[in-house]
Structure 1
């Protein structure tokens, strides 16, 4: 049977791990249109630039790409306005709204959940350091209560719910009262390699510069120790972070994938001080043979094996990170073993698990379906 497939993502206005997942799904189903609330085509990943991307009426809101966080109460209406009547399979990639689409009765909806929406369930952390009046913050917080009800209700309409990590699986159980399977996000291990040159003298951060990433912890720790820290990325929190940085901290802004790879290959270690739902960047650094120093929580618990490919610091503060940095400098690291660990999270593993889950959702009896795309996929109708 030929299936008509659509892909849905919350918004395509940044380049992160969730967007890389969409890129792999698009590679798997290249003819499937990608529906999203808003899109910033200048920030699309290379693998999505030629995709059939369809945004909603929110795209016409003045300054929406700059102020997208302030319109969080409109996104549910935007995703509900998307029309999927002509599709048999809907694959949503969601950390917010995409799983709230109106699903036709005949369709199967598989949702790859990066996290229950942060601004509904953790509003204070989401809005921290966003420049907006106190009145608007209070008003926005009140709107999160109906948003939670909407989020919980639409989760029950999904046919197959997949978590991207163990911690997200627990959040889904806590907030939605639902069970989910875990499929780790894909890592483009083949894009990275171990450098033949010895590592440089710097620690590295590769991240969007937003408050919940807790980059200030790494800046304070490296400034106090006098360790060189290079920060790749940009975001709303950059000015605050630059103001607190010591002379050993350097901000490099956005860089190409090739440049980021070179920085990863040459770093002493990647620092990962935030609490992430999963975190692909640490595994990319591991694919370059470099270890990671991470906060002991969230997705890092699934990816960091202390002593093998990195180590943890327990409390999310500069003091604990300083201790971890000092411990790190006393240990030896094997680049080849670090890379071998990263290879267990490769793209092929993700594709196989996703297709298996999709097939069981379409045909619980387990009969074979034909595939299309990268090695395996599902046939489209005309």
Structure 2
């Protein structure tokens, strides 16, 4: 493999799903990492401790570590200022602007897409409602900004040679937003860290960051109508206080838990209840790696990670009645769910499978890129031989 590779990621502020993808990309390629900002100082992941990270001018903006998301208007400019001259291969890890880097015609640019920027496309109205920006001057500014981001995002997509998507759901978004095809490469899940347990406890589990689109209050409301069933909620975030206030006597809200505790709860739960529409959704795969069934909203990545009636249950709507009906259906089938089969299904999303698929994507894209350039050079050479010289043209006169 070519050793002259740049890997572009938007920002390093947490160690979450997209950073785990970057970790595995760096594990199988000798890429140099470029980001807009890097504020992962405390609890820096092991894979970054010996990695040299190049940042953009946004790193030096005062108070950027606290308000980096407010710098969205400057992000297209910032990513275009990253100097990637000299690299033969550029890989962008994109959920906002990373695919907008400037490359030359002889550089191959591959983009792994976690999602086209959500709040500028299909989630714009939801974002504006959650931010209380439906009306007024601030709303007008936000809508104009998102319009600009949408236009820039679409144009920037033309700078990419080949796309990969983290799910078929995101591949559909890429087709709709960019009019481009994308290969599906599911993100890596460390299934070896999650193993089936020997016993089950009498509780359901809901766990995630407590932000609006995760819909955790909805799960709490559903279990409030089923006081004979116990729910454990794990996570923190802006809605944690709301979730705690909603919780009835049968709902235990634990807040943030360390990874080993979350693993234990996943192993021992009757089922994980997952009400969000995720681009992919790593947590349901981690639950299934523990042999635990998943009761999931049947949209987005859950349609690819949870097999209805085999590794879990899908429900049709994000409302209380759909969740309660799904719980009842799950309990009628509970004895038929086999932990070993559920675990085997989760292994389809392992780190090793991601690494093999990602390297195959690079190899095939590189081969097609070189073939295309060789063909273009041949056609150019043929045209130059057919074109008369000025002297020949003159003699024909």
Q: Give the TM-score normalised by the residue count of structure 2.
A: 0.86
Note closer, same or farther for the CA distance 1:231–1:65 as it changes in structure 2 (3 Å cut).
Answer: farther
Tell me the C-alpha RMSD between the 2 structures: 2.2
Match of 1:340, SS? helix
Residue aligning to 1:216: 217
Note closer, same or farther for the CA distance 1:16–1:131 as it changes in structure 2 (3 Å cut).
Answer: farther
Residue of 284, 287, 295 corresponding to 1:285: 287
Residue aligning to 1:337: 341
Note closer, same or farther for the CA distance 1:138–1:236 as it changes in structure 2 (3 Å cut).
Answer: farther
Query: CA offsets, 1:198-244, max 9 Å, x none?
Result: 11222222312111111121121122212332222222232333332
Residue aligning to 1:116: 116
Moved more, 95-104 or 294-303: 95-104
Residue aligning to 1:153: 155
Task: Pick the structure with greater CA Rg.
Answer: 2
Q: Give the TM-score normalised by the residue count of structure 1.
A: 0.89
Q: Which structure is richer in relative contact order (CA contacts within 8 A, separation 6 or more)?
A: 1
Note closer, same or farther for the CA distance 1:365–1:167 as it changes in structure 2 (3 Å cut).
Answer: closer
- How far is the alpha carbon of 1:177 from its aligned partner? 1.0
- Conservation of the 8 A alpha-carbon contact between 1:209 and 1:233: yes
- Conservation of the 8 A alpha-carbon contact between 2:240 and 2:255: no
Structure 2, unaligned stretches of length 5 or more?
372-397
- Conservation of the 8 A alpha-carbon contact between 1:229 and 1:249: yes
Match of 1:312, SS? strand
- How far is the alpha carbon of 1:92 from its aligned partner? 1.2
Note closer, same or farther for the CA distance 1:247–1:49 as it changes in structure 2 (3 Å cut).
Answer: farther
Residue aligning to 1:377: none
Query: CA offsets, 1:174-212, max 9 Å, x none?
Result: 11111111111111111111112x112222223121111
Residue aligning to 1:360: 364
- Conservation of the 8 A alpha-carbon contact between 2:247 and 2:253: no
> Equivalences for 1:1-382 in 2 at 5 Å?
2-29=2-29, 31-41=30-40, 42=42, 44-121=44-121, 122-130=123-131, 135-196=137-198, 198-226=199-227, 227-331=229-333, 332=335, 333-364=337-368
Residue aligning to 1:371: none
Q: Distance in 2 between matches of 1:365 and 1:140?
A: 39
Note closer, same or farther for the CA distance 1:103–1:365 as it changes in structure 2 (3 Å cut).
Answer: closer
Moved more, 132-141 or 288-297: 132-141
Higher helix share: 2
Moved more, 339-348 or 121-130: 121-130
- How far is the alpha carbon of 1:365 from its aligned partner? 8.1
